[in-house]
């Protein structure tokens, strides 16, 4: 029996992977702040997760499918993969670069807080599982 393979833990694991990927992408943006024609990137995960859970715009209720042959959007609990997206439409500097260092640093701080929250939640889940098994 896989105790930590539940849907909520898989979503938490996906969020941790996305936060880690976002940290790398933001560090790359900061490193290229003065690179001509560089376009900033970001990680798209939260909106994909909300859509898969049926919380996106125009969606009222998600159909829970437990078998791939069921009608709906797929197997219940399917966690989307984080995707790196590049923002090509804006220009910030005369060198056609669109990286704002102040914004990037605030996004780094926000991402660090999210990552810490996800890790604390994962630790709590494991602690509760251990408490249920050991009884102390």
Tell me the pLDDT tens digit for each residue of 61-99: 455 667 666 555 444 557 778 888 888 877 777 788 999
The string of pLDDT tens digits covering residues 23-52 is: 999 999 999 999 999 999 999 887 777 777
Helical packing angle, 101-134 and 7-31, nearest 10° = 150
């Amino acid at each position: 029996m896989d105790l930590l393979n539940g849907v909520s833990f898989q979503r938490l694991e996906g969020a941790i992977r996305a936060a880690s990927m976002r940290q790398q992408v933001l560090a790359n943006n900061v490193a290229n702040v003065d690179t001509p024609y560089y376009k900033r990137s970001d990680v798209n995960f939260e909106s994909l997760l909300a859509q898969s859970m049926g919380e996106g715009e125009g969606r009222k209720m998600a159909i829970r499918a437990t078998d791939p042959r069921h009608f709906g959007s797929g197997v219940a609990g399917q966690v989307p993969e984080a995707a790196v997206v590049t923002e090509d439409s804006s220009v910030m500097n005369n060198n056609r670069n669109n990286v704002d260092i102040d914004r990037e640093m605030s996004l780094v701080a926000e991402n660090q807080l999210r990552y810490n929250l996800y890790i604390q939640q994962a630790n709590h889940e494991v602690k509760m599982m251990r408490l249920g098994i050991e009884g102390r």
